Structure 1
């Protein structure tokens, strides 16, 4: 996968349970090794800094829940539309800014539940996407012990991998539910990458998951 390193903006904060600082620190050395200048922001006002965003090639967002102002969401959307990449994992990207439809449309998915909490489950690479740069030559079945995200998503996503939530005694649904677990989408000139596993550091350190995220960061970058 070829890319031209530039500036990566790491925007981290929100709910502390997803360890936004510790989690992003796992990937900052990788970005620097790839030649990126890394800028870190613990404020969503980074999305209103037009000069900063104009110099940015990749946004790594790790911000669970929270809210965006109208100016912040417009700045983020305009940046991605102009070619800035947006990437992240788990609640840091798909459980962010629940009350902002413009953001949900941008990322193409929204967390709604993680039945059974943290448990061992599988991620299956989509049979027709095994040659995609992000998952190529990786196992087609990945096992993680993590929250298994039930997400609402839309058909504009290029789904790279799925996960299937079973039916357990007492569940109100009656058939297993297969949902996207990793996907990409384009937005204007920009690219978006999402990986739903990643609740805690042990998952992010699983070699296959770490590789997917590292490749996803490069894929999304301008």
Structure 2
């Protein structure tokens, strides 16, 4: 059986604790047979040969600046079959670059001040998807993301912004919170939950995140 390779790309804003957050998933990936590399530079995306042999990129890099060449390297790898996965600002609050935003299928725009109680709800039509099966909803106390997203995303779970008399919306709105998408031969997994390590340790969120990583990773079948 071919050993699969995972590349952890972490850095950027320390508020999203990129090292501590990715350290949560590294043991899981190891238990699934992945050989793991870690990069603290986006220049990892310039190494085409390295990426060609990478089955999964887990990115946790917030509020950063990326070059055209770095984005092109990442997008080319995913298009050829390398999986891309991440959570929260580490993937959709990473870079203001339109090619990158098309790749991830969404962009963080705003969240209410502080941590708020809210419910992540699995989309009724997707309850049997392998990433969320057995999970109907998750009660959370953390940041709630308002995002712009691509209509072609396969939305697996949502959060709701309720209408308030003195609020900004004249009716409640439902916002994508967990989704998957395809980019060429590659798969992309995004979860908006994960501002802090405690969020990733919520049992249902941990399950969704781990399943999402496995879903996104390139499969070598039985070779």
> Are 2:125 and 1:122 equivalent residues in the alignment?
no
Pairs aligned (count): 218
What is the match of residue 48 of structure 1?
46
Q: C-alpha separation between the residues in 2 aligned to 1:109 and 1:143? A: 23
> Are 2:161 and 1:160 equivalent residues in the alignment?
no
Q: C-alpha separation between the residues in 1 aligned to 2:168 and 2:205? A: 31
Residues 44-193 of structure 1 correspond to what in structure 2 (within 5 A)?
A: 44-98=42-96, 100-138=97-135, 140-168=136-164, 170-193=166-189
Q: Is the 8 A contact 1:5 1:34 kept in 2?
A: no
Deviation at 1:179, TM superposition (A): 0.7
Q: CA RMSD in A?
A: 1.3
What is the match of residue 203 of structure 2?
207
Q: C-alpha separation between the residues in 2 aligned to 1:185 and 1:132? A: 13
What is the match of residue 24 of structure 1?
22
> Are 2:29 and 1:38 equivalent residues in the alignment?
no
Provide, for residues 112-160 of structure 1, a one-character-per-residue CA deviation record: whole Å limited to 9, x for no partner: 111132111100100010000000112x111111100000111110000
For the residue of structure 2 that corresponds to 1:194, the secondary structure is strand
Q: Is the 8 A contact 1:58 1:220 kept in 2?
A: yes
Q: C-alpha separation between the residues in 1 aligned to 2:169 and 2:13? A: 29
Q: C-alpha separation between the residues in 1 aligned to 2:3 and 2:164? A: 46
Question: What are structure 1's unaligned runs of at least 5 residues?
Answer: none
For the residue of structure 1 that corresponds to 2:59, the secondary structure is strand
For the residue of structure 1 that corresponds to 2:152, the secondary structure is coil
Q: C-alpha separation between the residues in 1 aligned to 2:32 and 2:3? A: 7
